[in-house]
Structure 1
Amino acid sequence: MSSTYVHYSTPSSLPSDYAVLSRYAAARGISPDQPEGGPTSNDTFSDTAEDANDMPSSEEAPLVTNKRARRSSFPTAYVTPFNPTSMGPLPDKTGHRSGPAAPALSENTPLLAPLVPRILEEVDGEDLNPESGARPNVVWEEIRILTKYALPVCGTHLLEYSLVVASVISIGHLSTTALAASTLGSMTASVSGYSIMQGFASALDTMLPSAWTSTQPQLVGLWSQRMAVVSAACLFPILLIWFNSESILLGLKQEPEVASLAATYLKWASLGLPAYAFNGISRRYFQSQGLFAVPTRIIMCIAPVNALLNWILVWGPEPVRLGFIGAPIATAISFNLISLCSVIYGVWFIPHTAWHPICRRSFTSLGVLVQLGLAGVGQTASEWWSWELVGLAASMLGPIQLATQSVLLVSASTTFQAPFALGVATSVRIGNLLGEENALRTGYVVKAAMLMALAVGCIWSTMFMIFRHSWAHLFNDDSSVVSMVAFILPIVALFQVFDGLGAVTAGILRAEGKQFTGALLNLSAYYVIGIPFGLWLAFSKNADLMGLWVGLTVALVYESLVSSWICLRTDWTYEVEKVRRRLAAEQKAGAREDAEAAARHAR
C-alpha cells in the first residue's frame, strides 16, 4: 500500500472499535435477572412527538406496545428508558437530557414507547448544573471513557498496518521493478478507490451513533443498508478506472513495464474492493453500538493468515506460487475474510437490536448520504492526495531525500494511529450523547478529547526529540539518511501536536455532520496554504525536504486551530435538535410504510 494509505486511512477492511452491553453486564458481575435498579421489561414510559410540527394526526397515533421482542436479547438492567418528558434546559433526578424542552403531551401522544438500548456509562445520569462553572471531574470522567473506547481502536489500526507491511515485504524481495509497480498500483488504488470509499462511509459517523441511542435503534441497520446501496453504485466507476489503468498510467508518462505491472496489480486487487467497501460500513455498524473490541479480535485472526497467504502465494511451493500477483490476491482474500467474519459476528454473536429488515426504505433517502459522502470524500481524500503529492515532490529531490521521506512518513504514520483512534472514539461518544439528547455532557467530551490529543502529541514529540539522532537507524543505516532524519525530526515533532489535534477535531466534525466544513478546511489548508508554501521553500528557497515538511506543518497548524475553534463554539443544543428532527422524519416514513403494508395486506 502507499504511504498515504498508511497514514490517513481508516481501512474498513479492519473494522475499528467495539464493546457490548452484555459484556458490560458480565464485567460488573450483575445477573440479567436481577436488575440494578433499572426498569423491568414490563415498565412503560410516556413519549412525545419529536417536534410539535411533526406530530401525527389522531388517526396516525394508535396505541403501541413495548416492542420487547426486538430487544429481548438485552438484559433489562442495561436498557435505559427514553423519557423525553424529563428533558429540559436542565436535567432532573429522573433523567439527564439537556436538549430543548419537549412539547406538552396531547391526545396525539403515543402512550407507550419502546425501551432504548444504549452504551451504558455510569456517569451519563449525573446531574450537570451549568451554573456550577467548570467541572474538572466531568472532564476526567470523559477522559477515562474515551481511553476505554480508543485503546482497542488503536490496536486494530496497528494490526492493520501489518497487512501493509506483509504485502510490501513479500513483493519488495522480488525485484526493484516489482516494488515500484506495487507502490504505483497501491498509490493509484488509494487515490482513486480506497479514499473514495472511506469518504462516503464517513457519512455513517454522523448517522449511526445518534440513531443507536435514540428511540429508533433499528435505524442503525437501515442507514447501513442505504450506504451499501450508495457504495455499490460507487464501485462501477472505480473499477472502470482500475481496469483501464495501464493506458492512464502511460498517459502520465510512467515507464511501460512498471505501468503494465501496476495495472495487473490493480486488476487483482479489485477482487477485494467490494469487501473493502462493505467493511467500511460494518465497522461503523459495530462501533456505533460500542463494540470496539470486535474488529481487534477479527484482525488478530486475519493478520497472521494474511502473512501466510503472502508467503505462500508469492514465495511458496511451485504448485501454488503466483509471484507478483500473489500479493494483491492475498490482500483481496484478507479483505473478504474480514467481511465474512464481520457478517458471522453480526448475525450470531451480538443482539439484532440495531438491525432493520431489508425493504423499500433501504433504497430511499440516499441523497442525504450522497451529500454527506461527497463532503466526506473532500475531507478524507484531500489529505490522502496531499501526501501523495508530497511523496512525488520528495522523489524529485533525489534518492537520499526520498529515503528520508519514507522514514519520516512511516514514523508519523505509526504515531498517528493513537490520535486517529481517539478521533474515532470521540465521534462515537458524541454521536451517542446526541442520540441521548445529552447536550451538556457532549461539550465536556469535546474538551476532554482535545486535551487528550494535545497530551498524546506532546508524548510523541518528546520521543522524537530524545531519539532524533538515532531514530533513523531503525530503518536505514546510511549516514546521509540518518543525519537528514535527525535534522528534520524537530519539525516532525512539532507536527505531531497539530496532527493529533486535527485528527480529533475531524472526528468531532463528522459526528456533527459537518464533513463539508472539514473538506473546506483540508482543501484550503493543504492546497492553498501548505503544499504551495512547502514547494516554494523546497524548490525556490532550496530548503529541500525540510521545506516540504514545514509546509505540511503550517497546513496542519491552520487546519487544527480553525477546526478547534469551530468545535469549541458549537451549539450542542442545536445539534441535538438536528438529530431529533432527523429521527422524527424517519419515524414518520416508517409509519407511512407500515400503513401502506397494512393496506396491501388488507386488500
Structure 2
Amino acid sequence: MSVTYMHYAAPSSLPSDYATLSRYVARNGENNEEESTVEVRGERESLLNVEDAEERPGRRSSLPPPFIRPLNPTMAPITARDKSPAAIPTENTPLLNPLVPRIEEDVDSPGHDPETSAARRVWEEIKILIKYTLPVFGSQLLEYSLVIASVISIGHLSTTALAAATLGSMTANVTGLSIIQGFACTLDTILPSAWTSSEPKLVGLWTQRMAVVIAASLLPMYAVWFNAEAILLLLRQEPEVAHLAGIYLKWTSIGLPAYAFNCISRRYFQSQGLFNVPTRIIAVVAPINALLNYLLVWGPKPFSLGFIGAPIATATSFNLISVASVTYGVFFVPRTAWHPITRRSFTNLWILVKLGLSGAAQICSEWWSWELVGLAASLLGPTSLATQSVLLVSASTTFNAPFALSVATSVRVGNLLGEENAKRAGIAANSSLLLTFAIASIASTMFMVFRNSWGYLFNNDPEVVKLVASILPLVALFQVFDGLGATTGGILRARGKQFTGAMLNLSGYYLIGIPFGLWLTFKHDMGLAGLWIGLTVSLVYVATIGAYLCLVTDWDREVVKVRERLAADRKADPAPHSHV
C-alpha cells in the first residue's frame, strides 16, 4: 500500500504520518450592482499589481492578537508622507475617495520619525511580523487538530481502516487539497495591496473571482474522488484498502467546497489585518470536531457510524468553519472590503488561472515530493518507515511557525507595496529573514537537546528511537533552510512571483534533491539518512536562491513598474472616469 507524507501547510499533513506510524506500530505488536467607473479604475490598478504586487496609499488599524475591533475600523486620509505621483491628486482624482483603509501601525503614524536608525526600523518590523504571525500560527495548529482527531478515531478501529484512511488522505492531498492551496495562494499577491489601494472593494471582488475559479476546479476533483476505488485498484492497491479509501473520499468530499471556501475566506480576513478571525473560529470548532469524532465513531448506538463517522465529522467541521466565517464577515466586519456580486465577479478570471497554476505548481511540487520520499522510505522496511513518520511529523509541526511567518510577511509586504512605500517593504522583507533564523534556531536547539529521547514521544521500539536520534541532527540543520524557503516563498508571493517559486521548487526537489537522495540511499546504502540529505540539499538550493532574489530586489523599481503600467493604461483609455 502507498503511504503518504506531507510537509507543507495543510491540515492533512499530520494525519497521514500518524496513520502510517500507527499502522506499522500495530503491525509490529505495538498496536475550504454593477461597479462605478471609479471601481473600474481601481480594478485596473489592482490588475497591474498582480505581477509585481504594488498598489497605493493607506492602511487600516492592525488588530493585536489578544482582541479584535471589527466594528470600528480606522479610516485615515492620504497623509502628507505619500508624495509619489500616484498619490498626488490630479484633475482625474475621484472626489469621493478622500479616505482609504489602513492597517495602522505606530511606525506608520504621522508623528513617527522616518529617519530612525536601520536597526530600529528592523526591530519595528520584527515586532509587527511577530504580532501578525502568532494568530496565523494558532490557526495552523488548530486546523491540524481537525484531521488528527479523525485519524486517532480511525486508528482504534483496525489496521485496515487506518491504512485506508492513510491512502484516502494521500489521494485527497495529491488530487485536491494541494491544488486548492496553490490557487488560493494567489490571493496573497492580490488582496493585501488591493486593500490599501484607492478601491478596497477590490478585495471582495477578487475574492469572489477566486471562488469562481476554485469552484470550477472542484469538478475534476469530484470525478477523481468518486472513482477513487477503481483508480486505486489500477494502481495495484489492496482491494479491501482501496474500497475503504474510496468510501473515505466520498464522505470527505462533503467538506471539499467548505475547505476551498475556508482557504479563500482566511486570506480575505488576513489581508485586512483581521488575523485573529480565522483563529477564533477554528478555536471554537476544534473541540466540536473532537466531540463529533467520538460520537460518530465510538459513541452510543444512535450516533455511532464506525469508519465513515470520522470523515463525516471532519467534513462537518469544515462546513461549520465556513458558516462561522460567513456569519462573522456579514455581521461583525465592516463592509469596506466587500463588493456586491455582479457580472464583474465572472470577469478577468484568466489572470487568476495563470497565477493559480503557478501557485499550484509551487505548492504541489513541495507536497508531492514528500509523497515520493515516503514511498522510497517504505522500501527500506517498517523501522525506516516508522522513523520517517516520526521525523516528518516533527518537521511538519515545527514548519507551522515559519509558514505562519510567511503568511504574515506576504500581508505586510503586500500592504506596504500597496502604499507605494518601497523602502519599508524592503525592510519588512529583510526583517522576516532575520526572524526566520531566530525561529529556526529554537527548533534546531530543541531537536539537538532531546535527540536521544525524542523518538519515545511516538514509539517505544529501541531501533526506531535509535534511528530517530541518528538523523535528528540533520533535521536540526534542515530547520534553517526549511524556514528560509517558507519565508522567501511568502515574499515572492507578495510580489506576484509564484512562477519563480514554482521553478525553484521543481528544480530543487526533482532535479537535485530527490535524485541525489535516492542515489545516496540505494546506491550507497545510506538508508533513510540519504533521503534526508537529499531533502536538505534541495532546501539549501531553494532557500539560498530565494533569499538572494529577495535581498537584491529593487523595491523602488517595483513601484516604478506599476507607475509605468498605470501610465500605459491611462494612455490606452483616455477617459477612464467617464460613466460606463
* TM-score clears 0.5: yes
Q: Match of 1:80? A: 76
The correspondence for 1:575, drawn from 541, 558, 562, is 558
Q: Distance in 2 between matches of 1:202 and 1:543?
A: 37
Alpha-carbon distance change, 485 to 383 in structure 1, aligned in 2, over 3 angstroms = same
Letter aligned with residue 412 of structure 2 = R
Alpha-carbon distance change, 360 to 527 in structure 1, aligned in 2, over 3 angstroms = same
The correspondence for 2:206, drawn from 184, 206, 223, is 223
Letter aligned with residue 241 of structure 2 = V
Deviation at 1:82, TM superposition (A): 2.6
Deviation at 1:124, TM superposition (A): 1.9
Q: Match of 2:455? A: 472
Deviations 1:508-548 (A, max 9, x none): 11111000000000000100001111111111110110000
Deviations 1:347-380 (A, max 9, x none): 0011110000011110111011001100000011
Q: Distance in 1 between matches of 2:204 and 2:239?
A: 46
The correspondence for 1:154, drawn from 137, 145, 150, is 137
- Find out whether 1:368 has 2:351 as its counterpart: yes
Q: In terms of Rg, which structure is larger?
A: 1
The correspondence for 1:463, drawn from 424, 442, 446, is 446
Instruction: Tell me, yes or no, if the aligned pair for 1:275 and 1:336 is still in contact at 8 Å.
Output: yes
Q: Distance in 1 between matches of 2:298 and 2:86?
A: 66
Deviation at 1:593, TM superposition (A): 10
Q: Distance in 2 between matches of 1:440 and 1:207?
A: 20
Letter aligned with residue 177 of structure 1 = T
Alpha-carbon distance change, 492 to 217 in structure 1, aligned in 2, over 3 angstroms = same
Deviation at 1:389, TM superposition (A): 0.7
Instruction: Tell me, yes or no, if the aligned pair for 2:194 and 2:202 is still in contact at 8 Å.
Output: yes
Deviation at 1:569, TM superposition (A): 1.2
Letter aligned with residue 436 of structure 1 = E
Unaligned ranges ≥5, structure 1: 14-48, 55-72, 84-93, 597-603
Letter aligned with residue 81 of structure 2 = G
Matches within 5 A, 1:473-492: 473-492=456-475
Instruction: Tell me, yes or no, if the aligned pair for 2:255 and 2:314 is still in contact at 8 Å.
Output: yes
Q: Distance in 2 between matches of 1:107 and 1:343?
A: 39
- Find out whether 1:523 has 2:523 as its counterpart: no
Letter aligned with residue 489 of structure 1 = L
Deviation at 1:570, TM superposition (A): 1.3
Instruction: Tell me, yes or no, if the aligned pair for 1:465 and 1:489 is still in contact at 8 Å.
Output: yes
Instruction: Tell me, yes or no, if the aligned pair for 1:201 and 1:373 is still in contact at 8 Å.
Output: yes
Letter aligned with residue 343 of structure 2 = R
Q: Distance in 2 between matches of 1:356 and 1:187?
A: 37
SS of match in other structure, 1:595: coil
Deviation at 1:122, TM superposition (A): 1.3
- How many residues end up aligned between the 2 structures? 524
Q: Distance in 2 between matches of 1:79 and 1:199?
A: 32
Matches within 5 A, 1:199-598: 199-577=182-560, 595-596=579-580
Report the aligned-residue RMSD: 2.7
Instruction: Tell me, yes or no, if the aligned pair for 2:210 and 2:264 is still in contact at 8 Å.
Output: yes
Deviation at 1:3, TM superposition (A): 5.8
Deviations 1:68-110 (A, max 9, x none): xxxxx9768x322135xxxxxxxxxx2155xx54497654444
Deviation at 1:290, TM superposition (A): 0.5
Deviation at 1:317, TM superposition (A): 1.4
SS of match in other structure, 1:368: helix
SS of match in other structure, 2:429: helix
Alpha-carbon distance change, 82 to 11 in structure 1, aligned in 2, over 3 angstroms = farther
Q: Distance in 1 between matches of 2:467 and 2:159?
A: 24
Deviations 1:398-438 (A, max 9, x none): 00001100110110111111111111100000111111111
SS of match in other structure, 1:353: helix
Q: Distance in 2 between matches of 1:313 and 1:259?
A: 22
Q: Distance in 1 between matches of 2:4 and 2:394?
A: 11
Letter aligned with residue 296 of structure 2 = L
SS of match in other structure, 2:337: coil
Q: Match of 2:107? A: 123
SS of match in other structure, 2:217: helix
SS of match in other structure, 1:214: coil
Deviation at 1:111, TM superposition (A): 4.5
Q: Distance in 1 between matches of 2:328 and 2:560?
A: 34
Alpha-carbon distance change, 329 to 319 in structure 1, aligned in 2, over 3 angstroms = same
Q: Distance in 1 between matches of 2:417 and 2:490?
A: 14
Letter aligned with residue 541 of structure 1 = H
Letter aligned with residue 268 of structure 2 = Y
Q: Distance in 2 between matches of 1:181 and 1:409?
A: 20
Alpha-carbon distance change, 53 to 478 in structure 1, aligned in 2, over 3 angstroms = closer
Letter aligned with residue 575 of structure 1 = E
Q: Distance in 2 between matches of 1:53 and 1:438?
A: 16
Deviations 1:204-231 (A, max 9, x none): 0011000111111000000000001001
Letter aligned with residue 579 of structure 2 = A
Alpha-carbon distance change, 437 to 593 in structure 1, aligned in 2, over 3 angstroms = closer
Deviations 1:53-74 (A, max 9, x none): 99xxxxxxxxxxxxxxxxxx97
Instruction: Tell me, yes or no, if the aligned pair for 2:225 and 2:249 is still in contact at 8 Å.
Output: yes
Q: Distance in 2 between matches of 1:533 and 1:159?
A: 35
Q: Match of 1:113? A: 97
Alpha-carbon distance change, 107 to 463 in structure 1, aligned in 2, over 3 angstroms = closer
Deviations 1:237-263 (A, max 9, x none): 111111111111111111111111111
The correspondence for 2:81, drawn from 95, 106, 109, is 95
Letter aligned with residue 357 of structure 1 = P
Alpha-carbon distance change, 529 to 292 in structure 1, aligned in 2, over 3 angstroms = same
Q: Distance in 1 between matches of 2:244 and 2:288?
A: 25
Q: Distance in 1 between matches of 2:132 and 2:417?
A: 17
Instruction: Tell me, yes or no, if the aligned pair for 2:150 and 2:293 is still in contact at 8 Å.
Output: yes
- Find out whether 1:8 has 2:4 as its counterpart: no
Q: Distance in 2 between matches of 1:363 and 1:52?
A: 15
Deviation at 1:128, TM superposition (A): 3.8
Q: Match of 1:88? A: none
Higher relative contact order (CA 8 A, sep 6+): 2
Instruction: Tell me, yes or no, if the aligned pair for 1:12 and 1:279 is still in contact at 8 Å.
Output: no
Alpha-carbon distance change, 127 to 437 in structure 1, aligned in 2, over 3 angstroms = farther
Deviation at 1:594, TM superposition (A): 8.7
TM-score by length of 2: 0.86
Instruction: Tell me, yes or no, if the aligned pair for 2:444 and 2:479 is still in contact at 8 Å.
Output: yes
Deviation at 1:164, TM superposition (A): 2.2
Deviations 1:152-181 (A, max 9, x none): 111111111211220111001111111000
Deviation at 1:576, TM superposition (A): 3.0
Alpha-carbon distance change, 241 to 108 in structure 1, aligned in 2, over 3 angstroms = same
Deviation at 1:578, TM superposition (A): 5.0
SS of match in other structure, 1:397: coil
Q: Match of 1:195? A: 178
SS of match in other structure, 2:334: coil
Deviation at 1:117, TM superposition (A): 1.0
Deviation at 1:190, TM superposition (A): 0.4
Alpha-carbon distance change, 3 to 450 in structure 1, aligned in 2, over 3 angstroms = farther
Letter aligned with residue 81 of structure 1 = P
Instruction: Tell me, yes or no, if the aligned pair for 2:391 and 2:468 is still in contact at 8 Å.
Output: yes
Deviations 1:375-402 (A, max 9, x none): 0000111111001111111111100001
Q: Match of 1:22? A: none
The percentage of aligned residue pairs carrying the same residue is 66
Instruction: Tell me, yes or no, if the aligned pair for 2:10 and 2:144 is still in contact at 8 Å.
Output: no
SS of match in other structure, 2:335: coil
TM-score by length of 1: 0.82
